[in-house]
Chains A and B, each alone.
Chain A
Amino acid sequence: MRRVLLIGNPNVGKSTLFNSLTKSAEHTGNFHGVTVEEKRKVVRYDDEEYEFVDLPGLYSMNTFSFEEEISRREIMRGDSLNLVLVDANTIKRNLYLCLQLIELNINFKILINNCNKKININKLSINLNKKCEIINAKKEKLNKKILNIREKTHGNNYKIAETYENNTKIPQYLTKYIKLLQSKLNIDENKIILAINGIFDGLNPREIELIKSLYPDIIKDRYDYLDHLLEECNICNDKVYGESRADKWLLNPAIMTLGFITFFLLSIYIIFFLVGPFISDLLTGLIDFIIINPFMNFLYMITDNIWLIEFFRSGVFSSVLTVVSFVPQVCLLFIFITILEDSGIIARMAYVFDDFLSLFGLNGKAIYLMLLGLGCNTMSTLACRNMSEKNMKIKTALLNPYISCMARLPVFVLIASAFFGIKSYFVVVGLYLLGLAVALILGAILNKTILKSNNNNLLLEFPPMRKLDIKHIAVVAEINAIDMIKRVFTVVLCVGVIVWILTHTMFNLNYTEVITDSILYSIADKISIIFKPIGLNSAGVVCALITGLMAKELIVSTISISNNVSTQSALISSLALTTSVVHFSLPSAVSFLIFVLLYCPCVSNMAVLKREVGSFYMWFSIISQITIAYMISFVAYHLLTRGLVSTIIALIVISIILFAIIYIIKKVKHSKCLTCGRCK
């Protein structure tokens, strides 16, 4: 099997080409750094297997951020067919990477995307000694021409370009540096070339220092060469991304802020209250009519075993159906996120909100991660890789789980609809804003204490403003719907069945219809004392919170199993009934909503956190989230039940605890410095 690497600067269309060539539907977006880890797919073509690898974008082999390092590692593995994608509009910067690959003697082919001007391809091919081809990344199909990389540039007329030294593959501009370094250091040419491109294996600090001191001159010479090359090939840049008519409006802070708030409020209204519930009811009605009713009727016909009937009715169908009913809302949410991503607005938002976010120790790129977090926190934690500074990366990853993801959405809709009726819209908006506020305040605290960063390096390339591609938006909605349905029929179904068994089995392993006699209820009843101060002393609620640790969708499914209902509307009405296993009063409902919003990342997010920022910060995230969720729920519950004075006293107590925690963290960090010195 041959590996085909898709290499190039960020946002040149690598993932789009990957999707076209492999018929995949990987996440693409009009923003710098959408791909943060390599994506692979094996495709069979012409009796041969090819593994296509879509790499994160990189500007140079001399890497700057975490995801660039991944790409460099893959490229340096060698033994692959390399396709370097180049955006015609920013060709000079894109060809800079090509020059480095040429220096490293890496074989590749140049594919020029977004080309709407005449480019002298032949001359470019001859001068770079590489095959060049104009493509349309969106429409390209897998063909021989694309995969034919090792073929000579121009058949028999192939010639060594003037820019190369005779009989060598090293560009002329580099030879003087190699000679200079060889005269001063006793290392071979290959090591020098690698070091010139940021790979210092086997070199000592003095040698590295000397080579690095030549970087500015080498970079200048590369650009001089590119100037000469592009002039010779009659390539000139005429269009500037970021200077369109729309940009004049969008880059105005007042218009952008107002526009974004309107867009956000409108999206929530459409998702939760206008279109979402309508499609949701239609979908559940349809599933009920086509699948559940016929199946249950069939079951009633063939058996009168109450355990089996209840297992399917309440254990399988109600856990699955209550979550499936939220698929339309999730699709709509992703449609709105994709609109922002594809249009190029996110990069503009990053610029406009950078000053504001820097007050909280974050930078403009955090906007993209927050929007991504509205869909899935795990994805946005992974995307923190495109932060170039370590502390900024850790801080953003720790704050991500406070942004409410789509899995928490069903809980908000259910509880808000049950207790707030027409005002539920404001409750949902308020919850999103509360999550954001907590993230920002915590960001400011972390920035002043353990994760100081100066936010001095927001370096972000503006993508072009693009017209929305309805087909692509539909594909994104479809992918996310399928993804959620898959989760429903794997995680939700499995855990739903386990929860049902545990809520319908007694300690003596006999079946029970009375949930309060069950194993899970008995255990949860013991734990529920911890949640009494925040008004959540029902064992059913504790069960839901425990299963929610695995995936937040499970909260709704557990509640529906506990309350023995299968439709969304029945579930909503059951929540206020004191006869239901899971029921709330208004203050405890508010407390529950806040706790679910803030309490803990799901298992997959914990795993990604551990991988990206280490065990220490994963545990820090879990403990801090549970503590913050508990404290805010406590305040909200007391405010609604005991009034202002009592809450103020409680707040004073909480403040003392908070300051004590900060003091201990500082003390621990200080003692770490003195003992191991690793932090230096």
Chain B
Amino acid sequence: MSLYDAKLNTDCIIVDIDIADEKMKIRLMELGLVEGTKIKVTRKSAGKKTLLVVFYSSCFTLKDNIAKAIKVNYA
């Protein structure tokens, strides 16, 4: 399941990041979005194009295309 499809405020575990843009993929990983990281989606914007996600006690905005490329399982 993708992070975009995950239920709001439910803890998930990242299993894979499948982004073609290598630079973006590395940056996401360096921010802590690596396999095994606990993550949850706390909000979706009105147009459902931007998500708010929480991991490592930080809150980040993520665009929908990136969230769709992050594969997760429920924790």
Residue in B23, B30, B37 whose Cβ sees the most chain A Cβ within 10 Å: B30
Please report which residues of chain A, range 44-87, place their CB below 8 angstroms from some CB of chain B when the two chains form the complex. Answer: 59-60, 62, 64
Q: Say whether A239 faces chain B, with CB atoms less than 8 Å apart.
A: yes
Whether B45 pairs with A62 at a CB distance below 8 angstroms is: no
Roughly how many angstroms separate A62 CA and B23 CA in the complex, as a whole number? 9
Roughly how many angstroms separate A615 CA and B66 CA in the complex, as a whole number? 34
Q: Say whether A458 faces chain B, with CB atoms less than 8 Å apart.
A: yes
Q: Say whether A103 faces chain B, with CB atoms less than 8 Å apart.
A: no
Whether A237 pairs with B32 at a CB distance below 8 angstroms is: no
Roughly how many angstroms separate A458 CA and B51 CA in the complex, as a whole number? 10
Whether A241 pairs with B59 at a CB distance below 8 angstroms is: yes
Query: A59 to chain B: which residues have CB within 8 Å?
Result: 27, 30-31
Please report which residues of chain A, range 442-473, place their CB below 8 angstroms from some CB of chain B when the two chains form the complex. Answer: 455-462
Whether B27 pairs with A64 at a CB distance below 8 angstroms is: yes
Whether A241 pairs with B63 at a CB distance below 8 angstroms is: no
Choose among A60, A240, A364 the residue that contacts B58 (Cβ–Cβ < 8 A). Answer: A240
CB A477 to nearest CB in B, in angstroms, measures 30
Residue of B nearest to A244 (CB): B59
Whether B59 pairs with A355 at a CB distance below 8 angstroms is: no
Whether A456 pairs with B66 at a CB distance below 8 angstroms is: yes
Whether B61 pairs with A351 at a CB distance below 8 angstroms is: yes
Q: Say whether A96 faces chain B, with CB atoms less than 8 Å apart.
A: yes
Choose among A90, A212, A251 the residue that contacts B57 (Cβ–Cβ < 8 A). Answer: A90
Roughly how many angstroms separate A459 CA and B51 CA in the complex, as a whole number? 10
Q: Say whether B24 faces chain A, with CB atoms less than 8 Å apart.
A: yes
Choose among B22, B24, B56, B61 the residue that contacts A354 (Cβ–Cβ < 8 A). Answer: B61
Q: Say whether A504 faces chain B, with CB atoms less than 8 Å apart.
A: no
CB A229 to nearest CB in B, in angstroms, measures 14
9-residue interface stretch from A213-221, A333-341, A539-547, A663-671: A213-221
Q: Say whether A314 faces chain B, with CB atoms less than 8 Å apart.
A: no
Roughly how many angstroms separate A59 CA and B43 CA in the complex, as a whole number? 24
Question: Do A219 and B26 form a contact, CB below 8 Å, given A240-B59, A241-B59, A460-B61?
Answer: yes
Question: Do A93 and B27 form a contact, CB below 8 Å, given A223-B34, A354-B50, A456-B63?
Answer: no
Q: Say whether B42 faces chain A, with CB atoms less than 8 Å apart.
A: yes
CB B35 to nearest CB in A, in angstroms, measures 6
Question: Do A459 and B56 form a contact, CB below 8 Å, given A59-B27, A220-B34?
Answer: no
Whether B57 pairs with A239 at a CB distance below 8 angstroms is: yes
Q: Say whether A313 faces chain B, with CB atoms less than 8 Å apart.
A: no
Whether A96 pairs with B65 at a CB distance below 8 angstroms is: no
Whether A237 pairs with B26 at a CB distance below 8 angstroms is: no
Whether B60 pairs with A462 at a CB distance below 8 angstroms is: yes
Q: Say whether A242 faces chain B, with CB atoms less than 8 Å apart.
A: yes
Whether B34 pairs with A462 at a CB distance below 8 angstroms is: no
Q: Say whether A92 faces chain B, with CB atoms less than 8 Å apart.
A: yes
Whether B59 pairs with A93 at a CB distance below 8 angstroms is: no
Whether A93 pairs with B56 at a CB distance below 8 angstroms is: yes
Please report which residues of chain A, range 334-375, place their CB below 8 angstroms from some CB of chain B when the two chains form the complex. Answer: 350-352, 354-355, 358, 364
Q: Say whether A243 faces chain B, with CB atoms less than 8 Å apart.
A: yes
Query: A219 to chain B: which residues have CB within 8 Å?
Result: 26, 29-30, 34
Q: Say whether A643 faces chain B, with CB atoms less than 8 Å apart.
A: no
Q: Say whether A253 faces chain B, with CB atoms less than 8 Å apart.
A: yes
Question: Do A251 and B34 form a contact, CB below 8 Å, given A351-B50, A459-B62, A460-B61?
Answer: no
A218-252 interface bits toward B, Cβ cutoff 8 Å, 1 = contact, 0 = none? 01100100000000000001111111000000010
Query: A455 to chain B: which residues have CB within 8 Å?
Result: 63
Secondary structure of the B contact surface, majority rule: mixed
Query: A212 to chain B: which residues have CB within 8 Å?
Result: 22, 26
Residue in A62, A241, A456 whose Cβ sees the most chain B Cβ within 10 Å: A456
Roughly how many angstroms separate A407 CA and B23 CA in the complex, as a whole number? 40
CB B34 to nearest CB in A, in angstroms, measures 5
Q: How many residues of B contact A (CB 8 A)?
A: 34
Whether B30 pairs with A90 at a CB distance below 8 angstroms is: no
CB B32 to nearest CB in A, in angstroms, measures 5
CB B52 to nearest CB in A, in angstroms, measures 6
CB B46 to nearest CB in A, in angstroms, measures 5
Whether B58 pairs with A96 at a CB distance below 8 angstroms is: no
Residue of A nearest to B26 (CB): A215
Whether B59 pairs with A243 at a CB distance below 8 angstroms is: yes
Whether A459 pairs with B61 at a CB distance below 8 angstroms is: yes
Question: Do A242 and B29 form a contact, CB below 8 Å, given A253-B46, A458-B61, A459-B60?
Answer: no
Q: Say whether B7 faces chain A, with CB atoms less than 8 Å apart.
A: no
Question: Do A242 and B42 form a contact, CB below 8 Å, given A459-B61, A462-B58?
Answer: yes
Q: Say whether A89 faces chain B, with CB atoms less than 8 Å apart.
A: yes
Whether A457 pairs with B29 at a CB distance below 8 angstroms is: no
CB B21 to nearest CB in A, in angstroms, measures 8
Whether A237 pairs with B59 at a CB distance below 8 angstroms is: no
Whether A251 pairs with B27 at a CB distance below 8 angstroms is: no
Question: Do A223 and B32 form a contact, CB below 8 Å, given A457-B66, A458-B50?
Answer: yes
Whether A242 pairs with B59 at a CB distance below 8 angstroms is: yes
Query: B49 to chain A: which residues have CB within 8 Å?
Result: 354-355, 358
Query: A462 to chain B: which residues have CB within 8 Å?
Result: 52, 58-61
Whether A352 pairs with B45 at a CB distance below 8 angstroms is: yes
Whether B61 pairs with A350 at a CB distance below 8 angstroms is: yes
Roughly how many angstroms separate A354 CA and B63 CA in the complex, as a whole number? 9
Roughly how many angstroms separate A461 CA and B27 CA in the complex, as a whole number? 13
Whether B46 pairs with A355 at a CB distance below 8 angstroms is: yes
Residue of A nearest to B64 (CB): A456
CB B37 to nearest CB in A, in angstroms, measures 8
Whether B56 pairs with A355 at a CB distance below 8 angstroms is: no
Roughly how many angstroms separate A402 CA and B62 CA in the complex, as a whole number? 28
Whether B42 pairs with A215 at a CB distance below 8 angstroms is: no
Whether A364 pairs with B61 at a CB distance below 8 angstroms is: yes
Choose among B27, B31, B65 the residue that contacts A456 (Cβ–Cβ < 8 A). Answer: B65
Whether B30 pairs with A242 at a CB distance below 8 angstroms is: no
Beyond the given pairs A212-B22, A220-B35, A355-B45, 6 more chain A to chain B contacts, judged by CB atoms under 8 angstroms and listed by A's residue number, are A62-B30, A96-B30, A241-B58, A364-B50, A456-B63, A459-B31
- A interface residues (Cβ-Cβ under 8 A, vs B): 59-60, 62, 64, 89-90, 92-93, 96, 212, 215-216, 219-220, 223, 237-243, 251, 253, 350-352, 354-355, 358, 364, 455-462
Contacts A/B (CB < 8 Å), 22 sampled? A60-B30, A62-B27, A64-B23, A64-B27, A96-B32, A212-B22, A212-B26, A219-B29, A219-B30, A223-B32, A242-B52, A243-B59, A251-B43, A352-B45, A354-B50, A355-B46, A458-B50, A459-B28, A459-B62, A459-B66, A460-B61, A462-B61
